[in-house]
Amino acid sequence: MTTRTKIRKKLLAAHRKLRELRMLAKGLVSTRHPVLVHIIPIRRCNLACTYCNEFDDFSKPVPLEEMFQRIDRLGEMGTSVITISGGEPLLHPELDAIIARIRKNGIMAGLITNGYLLVADRIQALNRAGLEYLQISIDNVNPDDVSMKSLKVLDQKLKLLAEHAEFQININSVLGGGVANSEDALTVAHRAVALGFTSTVGILHDHNGQLQPLGPREQEIFEEIMSLGKQSFTRINQFQHNIAKGLENNWRCRAGSRYLYICEDGLVHYCSQQRGYPGVPLAQYTDEQRHREFLTKKGCAPRCTVSCVHQTSAMDFWRAPQTFAPGATPPMTAAENLVQLTGPSNRPS
Ligand code: SF4
Ligand code: SF4
C-alpha cells in the first residue's frame, strides 16, 4: 500500500468517526428517525449455508429505480445508517449505484457480504461508490457441510481487502450449536486483527431456537474475542455476555422505529427474524406508525439475540417506557432459530 493510500485511509477513517459522533448526537437528541436500516437489494445467494433462512437461489435483483425510491424515502425519514444485506448483495449488478445513492442522501453506507465475489477491481469500485463499512462472517477454518464461509477459502479475499479497501472492515466469527470446532472462531478473530480489521463474534443457537449457554471453553473463546473486538460499551457487552450464558435480557426493542428491516419487496419488518411484522410497504410507513412501534413492547425481546437491534435500541434505553401492548408482536417461534451476530449487523454473511 502506498503512503498516499495510507494517508487517504486515515483521513477517511477520521471523517467516518466524525459522522458516527454526529449520528450518536442526533440519535440522542431526537427519537423521530431510524438510526439503522437493513435493506435487501437481492434475495439470491451464491452459497447455501445450512443454518440460513435469509436466501434463495432464484430471485432477481430489485430494479435500480425501486431501490432509489426506497433509499430516498429512508433519507426523508432522516435515517442515519443503511446496511445493504441479502442474499448476497454483490450479485446485484448495480450495487455501486445503490451505495452512491445512500451517500447522496447523506446516510452512512454499509455492506454485508460473504466475500466470494470480491476482487481488487470490485473493492476499488466499492471505494469509489463511497462504501464506509463492510462485514464478512467466517464460520470455520476449513469448509464443511454446514458452511463454505471458511478462512481457508476467504483468506485471499481478506488480503485483497487489507490492500485495497478504504472502508472499515469487520470480520465476524461464530460459536455455539452446529459449529464443529469452536477453536476456529479464535483463529478467525486473530487473523482479522492481524490484518488490521475489527473482529466480533456471534452465537449460533440450536434448532429449537432456544438460547443455549455456551460450554466453558466456548465462553473463554467468546470472552477473548470480545476483548479483541474493543467493544467497550458496558450495556451492549452485558447483552452479549447474557446471550453467551443463555440468560434473558431485560431491554426495550425499538424495531419498527429506530431499526427497520426492508425486504426485497419493499416491506418494513421488525428484523430479519420477525419478518411479517408490521409488513407495511415502506412508502406507506408513516411517522405515526414508527412512533407507535417505538412505544410497543416486543414479546420476543427477553430471549432475542439480534445484537444489532439491541445496539441501536441502547441509545434510548433510558427513556420512553414501552406502554403499547405487543398486539401484533409475534411470540418467539421457529423463527427464533436465530443465527445472530455481534457488530454492525446481525446477518450471517
Ligand atoms: S427478534 Fe429481537 S430484534 Fe426482532 S423484534 Fe423481536 S426483540 Fe426485536
Ligand atoms: S449465511 Fe449468507 S452466505 Fe450463507 S446462505 Fe445465507 S446469505 Fe448466503
CATH number of domain containing 128: 3.20.20.70
Average the pLDDT over 178-190 and give the result: 88
Establish if 258 belongs to a structural domain. Answer: yes
Question: How far is ligand 1, taken at its centre, from the CA of residue 265, in Å?
Answer: 20
pLDDT at 208: 46
Query: CB count, 10 Å around CB of 76?
Result: 10
Rounded distance, CA 164 to CA 120, Å?
7
Average pLDDT over the chain, rounded to an integer: 87
296 Cα to the center of ligand 1, angstroms: 12
pLDDT at 2: 78
Cβ–Cβ < 8 Å for 348, 337: no
* Atom of ligand 1 minimally distant from the CA of 310: 3
Does residue 209 carry a pLDDT above 80?
Answer: no
**pLDDT over threshold 60, residue 234:** no
Torsion sign across C-alpha atoms 193, 195, 174, 79? positive
Rounded to an integer, what distance in angstroms lies between the CA atom of residue 143 and that of residue 140?
Answer: 7
**232 within some domain:** yes
Per-residue pLDDT, 229: 59
Give this prediction's pTM: 0.90
What is the mean predicted confidence (pLDDT) over 54-76?
97
- Lining residues, ligand 1, CB within 6 Å: 253, 255, 270-271, 273-274, 298, 300-301, 304, 306, 309
Closest CA to 272 of 330, 347, 332: 347
In a domain, 170, yes or no: yes
**DSSP per position, 224-258:** HHHHHTT---HHHHHHHHHHHHT--------BTTT
Q: How many CA atoms lie within 13 A of 228 on its CB side?
A: 28
Cα-to-chain-centroid distance, residue 217: 26
Is 231 a domain residue?
Answer: yes
Q: What are residue 148's phi and psi, to 5 degrees?
A: -100, 5
Amino acid identity of residue 113, one-letter, is T
Is there a domain that residue 345 lies in?
no
Domain annotation covers residue 124: yes
The answer to whether residue 106 sits within a structural domain is yes
Pocket test for ligand 2, best of 43, 50, 55 (most atoms within 8 A of CB): 55
The per-residue pLDDT for range 322-339, each reduced to its tens digit, is 888 765 444 443 333 333
User: Does a structural domain hold residue 98?
Assistant: yes
Number of domains in the chain: 1
pLDDT, average across residues 92-110: 98
Q: Which domain holds residue 136?
A: 3-316
Is the CB of residue 141 less than 8 Å from the CB of residue 164? no
E strand intervals along the chain = 36-39, 81-84, 108-112, 133-138, 168-176, 198-204, 259-262, 267-269, 278-281, 339-340
CA of 238 to the centre of ligand 1 (A): 17
* Span from the CA of 291 to the centroid of ligand 2 (angstroms): 32
B/e letters for 298-318, b = 16+ CB within 10 Å, e = fewer, are bbbbebbbbbbbbbbbbbbee
Q: Looking at the predicted structure, is the pLDDT value of residue 79 above 70?
A: yes
Percent of the chain whose predicted confidence (pLDDT) is above 70: 88
Residue 235 in this model has a pLDDT that exceeds 60: no
Q: Please state the three-class secondary structure of 143-196 as a single string.
A: CCCCCCCEHHHHHHHHHHHHHHCCCEEEEEEEEECCCCCCHHHHHHHHHHHHCC
Q: What is the pLDDT of residues 27-48, one digit of tens each?
A: 999 999 999 999 999 999 999 9
Closest C-alpha residue for ligand 2 atom 4: 49
- Please check the confidence at residue 293 and state whether its pLDDT lies above 60: yes
Ligand nearest to the CA of 298: 1
